């Protein structure tokens, strides 16, 4: 099996950008990626581009991967849009790795882009609603925060997880986001403020929910041979795994875990010949604060039901023994759907190389990190393990 | 590089099905695929499913690949929706091949599905319009038939291609479709009728345009080792190639060819160590009759500008020296967008194995066939070469 490296990673600012098109956002990420490559970057070497995207700018643009590829100067390549709801970017990264492993191309782009605000003709809220089971959940009136609220209610009921535990996730991620110049929300919050925010879907309040975001990201993926020409310090894709699950929550065997995360993680750990004990830091999919707590457990960072205590004890803080969402996560960094997975890879690339923009966010000397990207309420999950 | 086989292929009826959901259409194709496998078919062996789709049933369903996968009994797998407009299915097939080549999974599904009619909330015509360059073409008022009409006008101007040549494509494909029990239009037409049909976008009339269609298809792709357990007569993926192009026609170097087809074909021929002279039959992307004429030339079946004479001389007829669209093509078999690419693979699988449903359509003793699947007006193109 061919080894696969990441040799460059870029990201646009995340936020609301009424003045930028979806193509311009992707270009911003692409240019940032290009400038991160140590040497010999040449667009002509890129044979393929895998682009994660859910909404195509209000469902206005088809053939999107070809469109953004030509816009950044990559016509005539193998390019493909991948849509797995909020996990589109994670799957784009896995597909890029498979391509290089198969030996079809030596140098490929994995990226994602989403334009969620200021889109004419957009169906707005439908964007996220479509990622669950439309016929049984959305059309019955369930919102996305409503679905995660059900998971939170059950977790609190079974394990005594507290309202405070949810808010601790928000406080931690806002603290990290305040140190990220590309984050949507670069400001801290307090436990009191997070606890007192207006209710969205009980028990989830405004500070338990990520926002809607415009943004893009892109990473350069290549074979070990090609990596030598680009850099002396590649980041390796040690393993990846994905899993789908029943979309409707009522079809699942249990509601206090995401089975997709468990299976995707098992597969990624197996491919990497690693386990949770080897993971020094992680970017996990905190679309809602409960989702980060579930991730601690389903990725094996702590036992089922112990996520509340895990964050209480400070393990996932920067400075803790396994920082989670040093970037600010979806909560503070932002969640431009299709971009989130490769945006996590952008963060981890720089974390593992020690090249994070602001020193306060840099985790010291980490060698192995994990990315966790969830589509919908767990219908699709991609886990990737990176190492240096 | 691992050899990749197709060991099963299924397709739903193509047509208008107000009583069938997108999930049910996919199941129909999946079940047909399963029953085509000679032995040892077991859903548990399927590790991944790549599903081509453009419109998600009126943009109502995200995470579609996970949704249709669980519906056919495949939860917890690696599954991914691929959207490259009308070429989505062809790219799903290429991705399935890469997966097996990479050694990530041994047995994978490549399929596609589209529900284009009787969809509540559908944007209707927008579905196809989004596949060109929305900002420069669609929003300026250009329809999809309008774009292909421009290509047809130029071809007629430069090479003397005649109105009759366009209609000959329609007549041939309807003749073949009449022999296909799964085709949308199972009736012949005459040159006179085809020439006299109401104008859509000059010179393209109603019989020069494919219709909107509901339908699905699925093929079972696996490694050579796995193939042995399924059948004694696998069909091999000898090569595949894809290429993107500038979406807007005004950005292209020429308008009498699809550069994407040329490059995709070059790559597929190279991987297969074959050339146009080796292709004994083909399924090409005749979304409009001019598109089939362009395909003859751009795939190297005849020289640039000679497509009119090529069909006049009968080469692409069943009984000719290289039958094209024995299935009826997009024109008569139908064009359920995301399904078209793997629907072509379904036809070719049975053609090469000599197992076509009705004998009149069966091409005798062919060993090598080509599939050609175009996204939009050529923004993405996938070419696949199959052999027995």
> d(Cα B317, Cα B298) in Å, to the nearest integer?
18
Residue A143 resides in a domain: no
- Average pLDDT of the residues of chain A: 95
**Closest chain A residue to B92 measured between Cα atoms?**
A80
Q: What is the pLDDT of residue A117?
A: 87
> d(Cα B6, Cα A344) in Å, to the nearest integer?
36
Residue A369 resides in a domain: yes
Give me the catalytic one of A105, A155, A174, A335.
Answer: A335
Give the confidence band of A31 by pLDDT, cuts at 50, 70, 90: very high
Question: Which residue, B269, B187, B231, is CA-closest to B352?
Answer: B231
Q: What is the pLDDT of residue A141?
A: 86
> d(Cα B33, Cα B107) in Å, to the nearest integer?
13
Mention every residue, 6+ apart, whose C-beta is less than 8 A from residue B340.
Answer: B86, B89, B90, B112, B285, B330, B373
Tell me how long chain A is.
388
Inter-chain touch A1–B103, beta carbons under 8 Å: yes
> d(Cα B116, Cα B54) in Å, to the nearest integer?
10
**3-class DSSP state for residue A134?**
coil
Q: What is the pLDDT of residue B121?
A: 58
Q: What is the pLDDT of residue A1?
A: 65
Percentage of chain B modeled with pLDDT above 90: 89
Mention every residue, 6+ apart, whose C-beta is less than 8 A from residue A44.
Answer: none
CB pairs under 8 A between A and B: 179
Nearest to A75 among B83, B91, B244 (CB): B244
- Residue B108 near residue B90, CB atoms below 8 Å: no
Is B287 annotated in the active site?
no
Residue A245 resides in a domain: yes
Bridge partners for B83 per DSSP: A81
Please state the three-class secondary structure of chain B as a single string. Answer: CCCEEEEEEEECCCECCCCCCHHHHHHHHHHHHHHHCCCCCCHHHCCEEEEECCCHHHHCCCCHHHHHHHHCCCCCCEEEEEEECECHHHHHHHHHHHHHHHCCCCEEEEEEEECCCCCCCCCCCHHHHCCCCCCCCHHHCCCHHHHHHHHHHHHHHHHCCCHHHHHHHHHHHHHHHCCCCCCCCCCCCCHHHHHCCCEEECCEEHHHECCCCEEEEEEEEEEHHHHHHHCCCCEEEEEEEEEECCCCHHHCCCCCCCHHHHHHHHHHHHHHCCCHHHCCEEECCCCEHHHHHHHHHHCCCCCCCCHHHHHHCCCCCCCCCCCECCCCHHHHCCCCHHHHHHHHHHHHHHHHHCCCCCHHHCCCCCCEEEEEEEECCCCEEEEEEEEC
Nearest to A376 among B63, B99, B251 (CB): B63
Position B333 pLDDT exceeds 60: yes
- Residue A49 near residue A74, CB atoms below 8 Å: yes
Mean pLDDT of B298-324: 98
- Residue B284 near residue B372, CB atoms below 8 Å: yes
Helix (H) or strand (E) holding A172: helix A163-177
Question: Which residue, A250, A248, A285, is CA-closest to A264?
Answer: A285
**3-class DSSP state for residue A359?**
helix
Half-sphere exposure of A200 (CA within 13 A, CB side): 23
Residue B366 resides in a domain: yes
Mean pLDDT of B359-365: 93
Question: Domain tally for chain A?
Answer: 1
Residue B314 resides in a domain: yes
**Number of Cβ atoms within 10 Å of the Cβ of B276:** 15
CA angle A335, A337, A340 (to 5 degrees): 65
Residue B132 resides in a domain: no
Contacts B78 to A, Cβ<8 Å: 94, 242-244
C-alpha distances (whole Å) from B324 to each of B60, B205, B327, B351, B374 are 35, 21, 8, 12, 15
Residue A289 resides in a domain: yes
Please state the three-class secondary structure of A255-270 as a single string. Answer: CCCCHHHHHHHHHHHH
Mention every residue, 6+ apart, whose C-beta is less than 8 A from residue B29.
Answer: B10, B11, B12, B111, B113, B215, B216, B217, B218, B339
Pairing of strands B368-375, B281-283: parallel
Pairing of strands A215-223, A107-114: antiparallel
Provide the domain limits for residue B239: 4-123+210-387
- Nearest C-alpha of chain A: how many angstroms from B379? 6
Inter-chain touch B63–A99, beta carbons under 8 Å: no
Residue B375 resides in a domain: yes
Nearest to B75 among A126, A244, A375 (CB): A244
Question: Which residue, B284, B189, B193, B235, is CA-closest to B388?
Answer: B235
Inter-chain touch B63–A95, beta carbons under 8 Å: no
Position A119 pLDDT exceeds 80: no
Nearest to A244 among B61, B79, B94 (CB): B79
Give the confidence band of A120 by pLDDT, cuts at 50, 70, 90: low
pLDDT in tens, B118-148: 876 555 455 667 788 888 888 888 889 999 9
Mean pLDDT of B76-82: 98
Contacts B251 to A, Cβ<8 Å: 70
pLDDT in tens, B12-70: 999 999 999 999 999 999 999 999 999 999 999 999 999 999 988 776 788 999 999 99
Mean pLDDT of B338-342: 98
> d(Cα B335, Cα B338) in Å, to the nearest integer?
8
> d(Cα B242, Cα A80) in Å, to the nearest integer?
10
Q: What is the pLDDT of residue A2?
A: 86
pLDDT in tens, B232-245: 999 999 999 999 99
The single-letter DSSP state of residue A287 is S
Q: What is the pLDDT of residue B56?
A: 85
**Number of Cβ atoms within 10 Å of the Cβ of B18:** 8
Nearest to A376 among B62, B242, B243 (CB): B62
Give the burial class of B3: count Cβ atoms within 10 A of its Cβ; 0-12 exposed, 13-18 middle, 19 or more buried.
middle
Q: What is the pLDDT of residue A57?
A: 75
pLDDT in tens, A323-363: 999 999 999 999 999 999 999 999 999 999 999 988 899 99
CA angle A34, A40, A46 (to 5 degrees): 60
Contacts A249 to B, Cβ<8 Å: none
pLDDT in tens, A125-172: 556 677 888 888 888 888 899 999 999 999 999 999 999 999 999 999
Mean pLDDT of B292-304: 98
- Residue B310 near residue B301, CB atoms below 8 Å: yes
Q: What is the pLDDT of residue A357?
A: 87
Q: What is the pLDDT of residue B123?
A: 52
- Domain with residue B103: its CATH number is 3.40.47.10
Position B1 pLDDT exceeds 70: no
Inter-chain touch A244–B65, beta carbons under 8 Å: yes
Position A188 pLDDT exceeds 70: yes
- Average pLDDT of the residues of chain B: 95
Is B86 annotated in the active site?
yes
Inter-chain touch A67–B243, beta carbons under 8 Å: no
Inter-chain touch A70–B103, beta carbons under 8 Å: no
Give me the catalytic one of B105, B155, B174, B335.
Answer: B335
Q: What is the pLDDT of residue B357?
A: 87
**3-class DSSP state for residue A54?**
coil
pLDDT in tens, A203-212: 999 999 999 9
Q: What is the dihedral of CA B307, B312, B316, B319, to 10 degrees?
A: -160
Contacts B242 to A, Cβ<8 Å: 78
Bridge partners for B69 per DSSP: none
Q: What is the pLDDT of residue A28?
A: 98
Q: Write out the E strands in chain A.
A: 4-11, 48-52, 78-83, 107-114, 199-201, 204-205, 215-223, 235-244, 281-283, 368-375, 380-387
Contacts A61 to B, Cβ<8 Å: 130, 134
Percentage of chain B modeled with pLDDT above 70: 97
> d(Cα B184, Cα A369) in Å, to the nearest integer?
52
pLDDT in tens, A74-107: 999 999 999 999 999 999 999 999 999 999 999 9
Inter-chain touch B62–A130, beta carbons under 8 Å: yes
Contacts A94 to B, Cβ<8 Å: 78
Q: What is the pLDDT of residue B19?
A: 94
Inter-chain touch A245–B75, beta carbons under 8 Å: yes
pLDDT in tens, A259-290: 999 999 999 999 999 999 999 999 999 999 99
């Amino acid at each position: 099996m061919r080894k696969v490296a990441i040799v460059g990673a870029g990201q646009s600012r995340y936020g609301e950008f009424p003045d930028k098109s979806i193509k311009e956002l992707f270009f911003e990420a692409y240019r940032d990626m290009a400038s991160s490559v140590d040497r010999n970057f040449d667009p002509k070497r890129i044979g393929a581009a895998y682009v994660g995207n859910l909404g195509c700018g209000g469902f206005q643009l088809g053939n999107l991967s070809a469109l953004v590829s030509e816009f950044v100067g990559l016509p005539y390549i193998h390019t493909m849009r991948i849509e797995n709801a909020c996990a589109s970017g994670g799957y784009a990264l896995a597909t890029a790795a498979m391509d290089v492993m198969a030996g079809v191309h030596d140098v490929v782009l994995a990226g994602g882009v989403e334009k969620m605000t200021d889109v004419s003709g957009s169906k707005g809220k439908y964007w996220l609603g479509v990622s669950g089971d439309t016929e049984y959940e959305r059309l019955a009136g369930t919102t996305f925060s409503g679905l995660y609220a059900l998971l939170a209610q059950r977790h609190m009921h079974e394990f005594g997880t507290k309202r405070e535990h949810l808010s601790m996730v928000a406080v931690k991620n806002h603290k990290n986001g305040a140190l990220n110049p590309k984050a949507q929300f670069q400001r801290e919050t307090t436990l009191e403020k997070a606890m007192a925010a207006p209710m969205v879907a009980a028990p989830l309040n405004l500070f338990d929910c990520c926002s809607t975001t415009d943004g893009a990201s892109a990473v350069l993926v290549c074979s070990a041979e090609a990596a030598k020409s680009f850099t002396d310090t590649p980041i390796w894709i040690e393993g990846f795994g994905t899993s789908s699950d029943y979309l409707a929550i009522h079809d699942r065997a249990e509601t206090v875990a995401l089975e997709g995360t468990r299976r995707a993680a098992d597969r990624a750990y197996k491919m990497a010949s690693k386990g949770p004990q080897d993971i020094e830091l992680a970017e996990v999919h905190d679309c809602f604060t409960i989702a980060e707590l579930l991730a601690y457990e389903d990725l094996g960072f702590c036992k089922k039901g112990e996520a509340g205590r895990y964050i209480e004890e400070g393990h996932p803080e920067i400075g803790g023994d396994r920082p989670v969402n040093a970037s600010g996560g979806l909560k503070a960094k932002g969640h431009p759907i299709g971009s989130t997975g490769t945006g996590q890879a952008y963060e981890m690339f720089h974390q593992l190389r020690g090249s994070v923009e602001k020193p306060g966010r840099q985790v010291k000397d980490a060698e192995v990190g994990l990315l966790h990207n969830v589509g919908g309420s767990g219908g699709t999950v991609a886990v990737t393990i990176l190492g240096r």
